[in-house]
Amino acid sequence: MQRSKSRTRVEELIGLNEPWKNGLLAFLGFGGSLWNIFYHLGGNGPWITKVDGVVDSGIEAPVGCRVEQVHMLSRHAERYPTSNAGAPPADRLEGMLALLQRIKDSNVTFKGQLDFVNDWPYFSLDPSAEHDQLTTTGPYAGTLSAFAAGTRLRTRYRNLLSTSSVLRPVNFWASDSNRVIETARYFATGFFGPDWDSRRAAKLHIIPETPDLGADTLTPGDTCLRYREDLLTGHDYGLIQLSKFRSAYLPPVSERFQAQNPGIKFTDGELYSMQEMCGFEALVRGSSPWCNIFTHDDWLNFEYARDIIHYYRAGPGNKYGAVMGWLWLNATANLLDEGPDGGKLFFSFVHDGDIVPMLAALDLFPSTTNLPVTHRLKDRAWKMSQVVPMNGRVIFERLACETSAKASASEGPRDYLRINVNDGIVALPICSSGPGFSCPLEDFLSMVRRRGEEIGDFHEICGLVGRDSPGRITFLHQ
């Protein structure tokens, strides 16, 4: 059976996130239960295991089954804030530095919860050089996290590795962003070994993040023309909806801080930036005083705010989301249909904004209604903190399971599809009749085909009809 949403895997949180256990700010008592702030940072915190809505039996292959093929779509590892124009305003280097400059220029000696600001140093010594890049210090360093992920999966899928790179290098892929490429390289060092490149155990393919690739891309948000040009319901729709919810939950926070410091009043954007800095500083230093100045309810609202931006920027709430995500999903379904003869290991590295559309296409976390922006929806499946944290990954496993003793001996093993999200097995909402809540592979393939028909054509929806660009992903192969 599936785990109740209210149940927490305490032993896994402590065992799998050892640095977190020792952190000063991440683990707090809350009404007799456990409170881990990393589960409420909306993707701005370090990698965490998924604990809500997962199957009880764990990540081991079900009895009588073996994993024979693996497909991973992974976000880059832990990073500094970004400075690109497409990022949320408070997630940009400029936004944080502007806030700190205003604090300095105010000449206010801060009191109360904000008294630490009087002598707090920014967490980057060289912002212009470090922004956009993986973090390299502290217990949550992105370089360490990516290497650890490779080692973790090497342990889990070593039997596939031993038979995959004997005759030829294993192909794997990264979109053309330095932090994504470095994540892939550190992962490969953990998975294939430190000399993977020189001994040609694996070959990394860099896929450009340019608009001319059409459907043959890992970053469809860069190639879907209408998504980029539609200022109301395209890429910026998430920011529009985020702004609405920020105005609903942050005014009381502003009043609280102003009561302690009458000489300055913070805007919604500045308060949101403070919440962002909690996670980003923790990624560099291991903890952050910014985490302490907000209540648990403030953090639940921030988590929901991050869910909103993902939902409406490239998820189910965006009319372009599913068609963009169907590209990788369809290519992967074809490889699953082909089976291990076509390759056993497929690793792709991208941004969180490239994983979210795939989730929309798969409809893994369905909702009966769009996320409201006037209040927090408490009972929801769409919780991205546990799905796309830094270094977050979604893994599709093709399982071969022995048939029952009553079946014909000549029937042989049957094939199933299982989904692992950050070391938590998530059952497909409409297909979980197989061992360990897996989905019969033929049913999964039929489901993907139906979804493709429902979603529509990428070129047509994205305004690329008549353009000389591929209509599907062609590079995913061994």
The residues assigned a catalytic role are 76, 352
Per-residue burial over 51-79, b = 16 or more CB atoms within 10 Å of its CB, e = otherwise: bbbbbebebebbeebebbbbbbbbbbbbb
Contact 434, 401 (CB under 8 A): yes
CA separation for the pair 363, 367 (Å, rounded): 9
CA separation for the pair 220, 320 (Å, rounded): 10
Closest CA to 174 of 54, 75, 255, 262: 75
Contact 169, 354 (CB under 8 A): no
Locate the DSSP E strands across 103-191.
Answer: 170-175
The angle subtended at Cα 185 by Cα 184 and Cα 190, nearest 5°, is 95
Q: Residue holding tokens 């993040």?
A: 209
Locate the DSSP E strands across 352-423.
Answer: 393-401, 414-421
SS3 of residue 342 by DSSP: helix
Contact 417, 399 (CB under 8 A): yes
Structure tokens at 476: 């995913």
Closest CA to 395 of 7, 75, 4: 75
CA separation for the pair 359, 393 (Å, rounded): 12
For residue 398, what are the β-bridge partners? 69, 417
Compute CA distances 160 → 69, 165, 267, 340, 475, whole Å: 8, 9, 53, 10, 21
For residue 401, what are the β-bridge partners? 65, 414
CA separation for the pair 43, 314 (Å, rounded): 15
Region label for 339, one of left (φ > 0), alpha (ψ between -120 and 50) or beta (otherwise):
left
